[in-house]
């Protein structure tokens, strides 16, 4: 695969060409030259006024394979990822069977060979994600699992979480916590507040998330372990993690992109497309999340891509499944918030790879061409015809969005929108 990208603004803090307009020559999947102007007898793409950055990386992605391929399989999931500018995705173990042994890890890695998008299976902390006995974490790590989480099953047993934190230190892996105290959250479906009261629905208090964050921060401090919190959503959660970082606790966190752009006001029509977990919170929480994103408290933004068939979403709100597909819209939603390109690349490309301890994607001569070309001002319509996912559970389908991925490149392959 040979390609010449012309006149793109480089956004990569690790590149010597950062913030410079340059041409990038790619030959056989390798960046062979970066310069102000390059003449080469290869196919070229005019990227004037556009940005080129390391390919995006999603730390929280749900793809149905294994066992739930009717929702999404690796082929459609990675197609949606490539269309959204992602060259790497970390797969949650929320499958049937769950990813809780080396067999599942190796299956996924073998199935994903030769793909433009790199796959990183996350192993379960507990067998069958039941929160009782530790899974075969070391075997999974040797087979390619980079971190461990029970996915959307929060670990309620503090002793199990402590043992997991201590155990993974032996081989340099990381524990990812989905913070929710289920004894507080109960069976509620939405955020506890004014909107839940108006809707006549029992709410999930912010306390359910914050108690679990406080617990796991204490465990991380006591064990000296690293901890990553995925999809935080409340004002006090941001404050807890900010204070922990000041104390020197080894903590990182991410936020789901929809929790940055939507509030629980969206639920007033009982539209189950807005049913997510953690739930959409208040404007006060959204403001705190945005502030945390900008001051470095929140390290990354994730899609929490969660596909569902229509029969699981087009039903009464109470019985609908949680989740939104988000791989193709994450960039546009962040652009819509007015975030600068450098901050978007930091949260979508650079920090996620650091957190998962995988090789950085760098725009430098001699490096593999792992990159995305995108425009901040370019508009597009997210219609069903351009949706690459097998599922359609997104409230943004049918909307005109700003911020478009033009080209994704990795593993000697190119995807163009």
Q: Are strands 174-177 and 118-121 parallel, antiparallel or unpaired?
A: unpaired
Give the H/E segment covering residue 400. strand 400-410
Beta carbons of 297 and 28 less than 8 angstroms apart = no
- Per residue in 61-72, pLDDT tens? 999 888 999 999
CATH 2.30.40.10 fits 3-51+366-416, yes or no: yes
Tell me the C-alpha distance between 38 and 339, whole Å: 31
- The reply to whether domains 3-51+366-416 and 55-356 share a CATH topology is no
Question: Tokens 């208040």, residue?
Answer: 282
* pTM for the model: 0.96
Tell me the C-alpha distance between 238 and 224, whole Å: 21
**Looking at the DSSP assignment, which residues form a beta bridge with residue 91?**
61, 121
CB atoms within 10 A of CB 134: 16
Tell me the C-alpha distance between 209 and 192, whole Å: 12
Alpha helices by DSSP H, 40-85: 74-83
> Tell me, which fold does domain 55-356 have in CATH?
TIM Barrel (3.20.20)
CB atoms within 10 A of CB 385: 6
Structure token pair of residue 212: 């679990």
Any idea what DSSP says for residue 368?
A: B
From residue 241, give the alpha-carbon distance in Å to each of 127, 161, 244, 397.
29, 18, 5, 34
- Per residue in 77-98, pLDDT tens? 999 999 999 999 999 999 999 9
Extents of the domains making up the chain:
3-51+366-416, 55-356
Mean pLDDT by 10 residues, the chain (417 residues): 94 94 95 92 92 98 91 96 98 95 95 95 96 95 96 96 96 96 94 94 96 98 97 98 98 98 95 96 98 98 97 94 97 97 98 96 95 95 95 96 97 94
């Amino acid at each position: 695969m040979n390609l010449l990208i012309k006149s793109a603004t480089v956004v990569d803090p690790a590149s010597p060409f950062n913030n410079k307009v340059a041409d990038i020559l790619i030959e056989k999947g390798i960046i062979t030259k970066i310069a102000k102007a390059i003449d080469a007898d290869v196919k070229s793409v005019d990227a004037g006024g556009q940005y080129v950055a390391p390919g995006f990386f999603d730390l929280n992605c749900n793809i149905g394979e294994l066992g739930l391929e009717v929702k999404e399989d690796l082929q459609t999931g990675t197609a949606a990822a490539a269309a959204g500018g992602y060259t790497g995705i970390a797969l949650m173990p929320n499958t049937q069977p769950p990813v809780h042994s080396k067999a599942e890890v190796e299956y996924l890695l073998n199935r994903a060979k030769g793909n433009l998008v790199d796959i990183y299976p996350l192993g379960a902390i507990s067998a069958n994600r039941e929160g009782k006995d530790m899974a075969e974490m070391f075997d999974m790590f040797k087979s390619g699992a980079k971190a461990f989480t029970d996915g959307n099953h929060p670990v309620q047993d503090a002793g199990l979480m402590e043992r997991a934190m201590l155990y993974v230190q032996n081989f340099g892996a990381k524990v990812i916590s989905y913070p929710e105290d289920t004894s507080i959250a109960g069976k509620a479906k939405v955020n506890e507040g004014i909107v839940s009261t108006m809707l006549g629905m029992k709410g999930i208090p912010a306390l359910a998330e914050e108690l679990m964050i406080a617990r796991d921060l204490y465990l991380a401090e006591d064990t000296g372990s690293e901890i990553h919190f995925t999809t935080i959503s409340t004002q006090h959660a941001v404050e807890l993690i900010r204070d922990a970082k000041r104390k020197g606790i080894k903590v990182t966190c991410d936020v789901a992109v929809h929790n940055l752009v939507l509030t629980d006001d969206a639920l007033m029509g009982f539209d189950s497309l807005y049913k997510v977990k953690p739930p959409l919170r208040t404007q006060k929480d959204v403001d705190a999340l945005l502030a945390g994103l900008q001051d470095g408290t929140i390290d990354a933004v994730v899609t929490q891509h969660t596909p569902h068939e229509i029969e699981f979403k087009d039903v009464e709100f109470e019985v609908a499944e949680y989740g939104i597909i988000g791989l193709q819209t994450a960039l546009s939603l962040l652009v819509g918030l007015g975030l600068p390109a450098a901050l978007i690349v930091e949260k979508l490309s650079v920090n996620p790879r650091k957190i998962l301890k995988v090789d950085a994607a760098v725009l430098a001569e001699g490096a593999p061409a792992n990159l995305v070309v995108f425009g901040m001002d370019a508009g597009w319509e997210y219609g069903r015809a351009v949706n690459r996912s097998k599922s359609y559970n997104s409230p943004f389908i049918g909307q005109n969005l700003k911020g478009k991925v033009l080209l994704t490149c990795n593993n000697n392959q190119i995807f163009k929108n």
